[in-house]
Amino acid sequence: EESDKGQILYADSAYSGEPIATILKSKEIENQIHEKGYRGKPLTDEQKASNKSKSKTRVRVEHIFGFIEQNMHDF
């Protein structure tokens, strides 16, 4: 949607990959998906630092979802 332009997407490495990166770029959404290491091609120290920085934002959101799930399920 047009309203998604300029938004930022934080996600874990399960969502990484060129197809998703291409979609995000075409929709002008900032890609903050964790980078993924592979056998024989581990993450660089820079990539690890980038993932750690992204995790600091993601964890705050995950804690809110956890709170909602634990405390609001009766509604």
Alpha helices in the chain (DSSP H): 18-26, 45-71
Return d(Cα 65, Cα 51) in angstroms, integer.
Answer: 20
Q: What's the pLDDT tens digit per position in 10-68?
A: 998 998 899 999 999 999 999 999 999 999 999 999 999 999 999 999 899 899 999 99
Total tally of structural domains belonging to the chain: 1
**Residue 3: band (very low, low, confident or very high) from pLDDT cuts 50, 70, 90:** confident
Domain that holds residue 40: 2-71
Count of CB atoms situated within 10 Å of the CB of 32:
16
Burial class (CB in 10 A: 0-12, 13-18, 19+), 34: buried
Q: In which residue are the tokens 């995950």 written?
A: 62
Q: Which residues sit opposite 38 in a β-bridge?
A: 41
